[in-house]
Amino acid sequence: MKRIMGLLMILILIHTSAAQFKTVPGVGWEGQGAGVVMTNLDSNPRPEMILMAYDNPAQMNSFRYKIGWNLNSAGDATSWDANYKTVSGVGWEGQGADAAFVNLDSNGRPEMIVMAYDNPAQDNNFRYKIGWNLNSAGDAASWDANYKTVSGVGWEGQGAGLILTNLDSNIRPEMIVMAYDNPAQDNNFRYRIGWNLNSAGVATSWDANYKMIPGVGWEGQGAGALITNLDSNPKPEMIVMAYDNPGQMNSFRYKVGWNLNSAGVATSWDSGYQTVPGVGWEGQGAGIAAINLNDDPRPEMIFMAYDNPAQSNTFRYQIVSNAIAAKRIRLELDKLSSVNWPPASITRSGATHTLQSIYSLAGIELTPIQNEGTIADLHPGQGYTLAELDSFRSAHMNSPPASGSGIWHMYGALVTRYTDPNVLGVMFDTGSRRAFAVFTQSATPNEYYLRTTAHELGHALNLEHSDSSDWPTTGNGRDIMSQTGNLASDWNYGWSASSLCHFYTHPEDRWRPNSGVSFENCH
Amino acid sequence: MRQIVRLMIFALLIMLMGGAGAASYETLKMEATPLATMPIERAVLSEGLGVELGKIQDGLTLDIRSDKESYQLGEPVILYVTMRNEGQQTASVLSPLDPEYGFVNYMIVDASGEERRFLPYAHIDAENPSQQLAPGEVIQGVAKIFFGGDGWTFEEPGSYQVYAAYQDSLRSNTLTVQIDAATDQNSAEAADLFLGSEEVGKFLYFEGGDHLKEGVNLLEQVARQFPDTPHATYANFALGNNLLTDFANFQTNQLRRADPTAAVQYLEVARENPVSSYYTVQTYLDLSHGYQMLNQPEMAEEMRIGLENLATSELQPIQNVVELVRIRKSAELNMIT
């Protein structure tokens, strides 16, 4: 019943929210696949959109991508790269391509992985290469000289997708490669999983066999895949999408695999599919992504196709607003009578930020509750020990949400200072990851007070620091999970690409408090 | 204002140390001197953290040591960690090296070969953890790895392999931590009381905590019923250390004042039965402080001299650790009480 309601909600949203598509100039005349990625690269907290196409000249293909900077709440970029960036391809002919972001190494900057579904005479195969440590302009420090190859799933495809996520109990990420296989009649989706990628981007093992899901039509012109969570079950859903190609107007068609287990197998798949209006008659690639853009914390779904008119192609995308349920957190805050509450808002670089708005970018509906504000400062002027903070939490963490509400209960203690005055904050129950303390005499002025509160809550949601491992030799942090001592002057209240990967692509039990997954290197 | 406070604390520490030199509360930087000569095994590259040796600045090394050949089941395992700049260039590094700060991860491999990262009870964010380490200088840290966010670490007798990794890039030696089964009935019962209670683990980790009533009761029971076990020494130390300072108990909403008389009673028992350097140094420092509070300057001086004598004799091989613990304890006592 719950699932039917969820589907109905999605349908209603699609029909009411899908607006006119947006168009971005393409990167060539012919493509053989495309993808869309939402991330954050620069010092502005608003997200970037990366549009990639697998360009198909006469001989060797190439990946070409361009970046739309700082999308507003309507999904329009403040600006687009005037020129595209080029990455050498992995073959002469492809039948699908995609891109994804992940953090593989100990450098805090993200990796970009581009993948094409290579199409030789018989068996296809997936080929990918990695761009390492993208800078704030979206340029990789280096690209793999050679591609890595993964066995394909058929002879002919009409689209491909790439997902980086984490499915098992190992903290290293999984890579899911998917192709929209094209036999004589009904197409089908086929995917296989590479387990626990090491810091070089090589999987420890790959599924010997692929998993197959019935398709959504006979002919497609692109495909994509997405991991998210749509229902109240903490296990993730997998969405597979194809850009269906009938005689005239195309359409995006997708279906949901519910509650993937740790082997990457869904409990069930939708028997039918959902439809989102297409953006043209002919395409040469498509992609799907999720991010929250507007004030409503429920993330949007973005459907993109690489439209193929007679000459220059264009990227065209549709936004389905508030399509995914937000995670809801009740943040109980208690404070000593001698300190202030965190500031309700801070204006920085012309934008106003609140705890709610910071977490809304991560698709989280955060409700801070100022619960107890007159707790006696039992030894004024002196720092509190971990043991004393432990007694604070155990005595005062007492305002949970209603039982069965599905809302997560988290806790912040606001006190004067720690025994070491150099300490700004502590997450002091790393096993269950529910509670933290912020020290108001250290986390000052107010813009740091708000930042430290958001930062410690991020730790409790299983985010580690986003600084590069070579800091303090090099590196300037700008985002919420950077360490304060590493902040550049233009730091902001946004999330790093790595943090966004965590919130949007990791299953819920990797970051939900009290999930049994302890605080670890999950960023 | 914060800088002024820091400078005052800094000056106070130097006074307490008798002008020992430039030292911070969090870490101690000093000229490299030999550490304990416990046998160590050189690092072997592990897949666990994907660690690559030598990725940080050339010349930095990381060592972990223990001052005990083996531990009885339930005894707190404390490691001393040392980062040393053996290169020619000054290096920028992050500290403290204690697990709570997250710059150094501690990995534990049990007898079955299963590897896990030690999860400290708390994750601490310091304002500016970056510091310069000149050639020849070292930074010391202490890792209380016996209890953390996942509870007790060494719950079964056996041989555990432990190593540390700084920023997941610089790896330490691998140390064998031998946990022995109890050798007699009293030790077995004491170990059961320790390992059977999360509150005992917390109290020993915090070295205090009035709100942990069950833990306090069990530790008192161990101290009373099994006085000849090493567990009793840990219990006596922790109970005495707790009573030496005020405690803000938010469960009762009251500040419990320090009780040096009761504290000294526990600590004197702990002093009579030393178990490890970390606890011995703290016990002497606590006693010196406790006797001062009791207006017994002769006894306070006796404890101070006693510690100095130990520091130049049996504790001499771990002089750096003695200094680190001394500085931290001095700072703690002066900031809390």
Q: A111 pLDDT band (50/70/90 cuts)?
A: very high
Rounded mean pLDDT, A479-497:
88
Q: Are A486 and A470 in contact (CB under 8 A)?
A: no
Rounded mean pLDDT, B136-161:
95
Same domain, B124 and B201: no
Token look-up 């010196």 returns B288
**How remote is the C-alpha of A15 from its chain's centroid?**
25
Q: B320 pLDDT band (50/70/90 cuts)?
A: confident
Give the least confident one: A11-25, A321-335, B4-18, B88-102: B4-18
Closest CB to B255: pick one of A379, A392, A521: A379
Rounded mean pLDDT, A133-144:
94
Written as one letter, the residue type at B7 is: L
Same domain, B189 and B163: no
Rounded mean pLDDT, B259-280:
96
Angle between helices B230-243 and B198-206 (to 10 degrees): 60
Same domain, B248 and B168: no
Contact A521 B168 (CB under 8 A): yes
Give, in words, the CATH class of A2-320.
Answer: mainly beta
- Rounded to whole angstroms, the Cα distance separating A241 from A286 reads 9
For position B17, what pLDDT does the model report?
34
- Name chain A contacts of B57, Cβ cutoff 8 Å: 473
Buried b (16+ CB within 10 A) or exposed e, B253-290: eebeebbbeebbebbbbbbebbbbbbbbbbbbbbbbbb
Best A106, A204, A374, A388 member to test B by mutation, with max B CBs in 10 Å, is: A388
- Name chain A contacts of B216, Cβ cutoff 8 Å: none
Say whether pLDDT at B309 is over 80: yes
Residue B37 resides in a domain: yes
β-pairing, A346-348 vs A351-353, is antiparallel
- Name chain B contacts of A391, Cβ cutoff 8 Å: 209-211, 248-251
Say whether pLDDT at A314 is over 60: yes
Q: Of the candidates A76, A80, A98, which has an alpha carbon nearest to the alpha carbon of residue A21?
A: A76
For position B39, what pLDDT does the model report?
31
% chain B with pLDDT above 90: 65
Instruction: Give the pLDDT confidence of A421-447 residue by residue, as tens digits.
Output: 999 999 988 788 999 999 999 999 999
Rounded mean pLDDT, A281-299:
97
- Rounded to whole angstroms, the Cα distance separating B307 from A426 reads 33
For position B60, what pLDDT does the model report?
93
CATH number of the domain enclosing B191:
1.25.40
For position A469, what pLDDT does the model report?
59
What DSSP string runs through A168-236?
SSSSSPEEEEEEEE--SSS-EEEEEEEES--TTS--SEE-SS-EEEE-S-S-EEEEEEEEE--SSSSSP
Same domain, B136 and B267: no
Which of residues B133, B157, B180 is at a domain's end?
B180
CATH 3.40.390.10 intervals, chain A: 327-510
Q: B129 pLDDT band (50/70/90 cuts)?
A: confident
Best B241, B250, B330 member to test A by mutation, with max A CBs in 10 Å, is: B250
Same domain, B107 and B45: yes
Q: Which CATH number fits domain A327-510: 3.40.390.10, 3.40.50.300, 3.40.630.10, 3.40.50.10540?
A: 3.40.390.10
Same domain, B318 and B212: yes
- The minimum CA-CA distance between A372 and chain B, rounded to whole Å, is 13
Angle between helices B185-195 and B213-225 (to 10 degrees): 170
For position B28, what pLDDT does the model report?
39
Same domain, B104 and B141: yes
- The domain in which residue B306 lies consists of 185-336
Same domain, B103 and B132: yes
Q: How many domains does chain B have?
A: 2
- Rounded to whole angstroms, the Cα distance separating A107 from B168 reads 10
Quote the pTM value.
0.89
Closest-approach residue (CA) in chain B for A419:
B335
Same domain, B199 and B298: yes
For position A490, what pLDDT does the model report?
85
Kindly give, in sequence order, each residue whose CB lies less than 8 Å from that of residue B309, ignoring residues fewer than 6 positions away: none
Q: Of the candidates A360, A402, A384, A383, which has an alpha carbon nearest to the alpha carbon of residue A494?
A: A360
Q: A472 pLDDT band (50/70/90 cuts)?
A: low
Q: Are B323 and B80 in contact (CB under 8 A)?
A: no
Average pLDDT, chain A: 92
For position B19, what pLDDT does the model report?
31
Write out the two tokens for A356. 């709610």
For position B50, what pLDDT does the model report?
38
- Name chain B contacts of A420, Cβ cutoff 8 Å: 25-26, 126
Closest CB to A430: pick one of B130, B149, B168: B149
CATH number of the domain enclosing B98:
2.60.40.10
Which of residues B180, B200, B229 is at a domain's end?
B180
More confident site: B69 or A114:
A114
Instruction: Give the pLDDT confidence of B52-65 residue by residue, as tens digits.
Output: 333 455 689 999 99
Instruction: Give the pLDDT confidence of A386-397 residue by residue, as tens digits.
Output: 999 999 999 999
Say whether pLDDT at A192 is over 70: yes
Run of H or E residues at B205 = helix B198-206
- Rounded to whole angstroms, the Cα distance separating B133 from B57 reads 11
For position B43, what pLDDT does the model report?
32
- Rounded to whole angstroms, the Cα distance separating A439 from A453 reads 9
Which of residues B180, B213, B232 is at a domain's end?
B180
Same domain, B82 and B149: yes
More confident site: B181 or B320:
B181
Write out the two tokens for A483. 């360490």
Closest-approach residue (CA) in chain B for A392:
B250
CATH 2.115.10 intervals, chain A: 2-320
Same domain, B300 and B330: yes
β-pairing, A327-336 vs A364-375, is parallel
Rounded mean pLDDT, A283-310:
97
Same domain, B269 and B159: no
For position B53, what pLDDT does the model report?
39
More confident site: B157 or A486:
B157
Q: Are A130 and A164 in contact (CB under 8 A)?
A: no
- Rounded to whole angstroms, the Cα distance separating A35 from A301 reads 14
Buried b (16+ CB within 10 A) or exposed e, A470-504: bbbeebbbbbbbbbbbbbeeebbbbbbbbbbbbbb
Closest-approach residue (CA) in chain A for B165:
A469
Taking the Cβ of residue A64 and every Cβ of chain B, the question of whether any pair is shorter than 8 Å is answered with: no
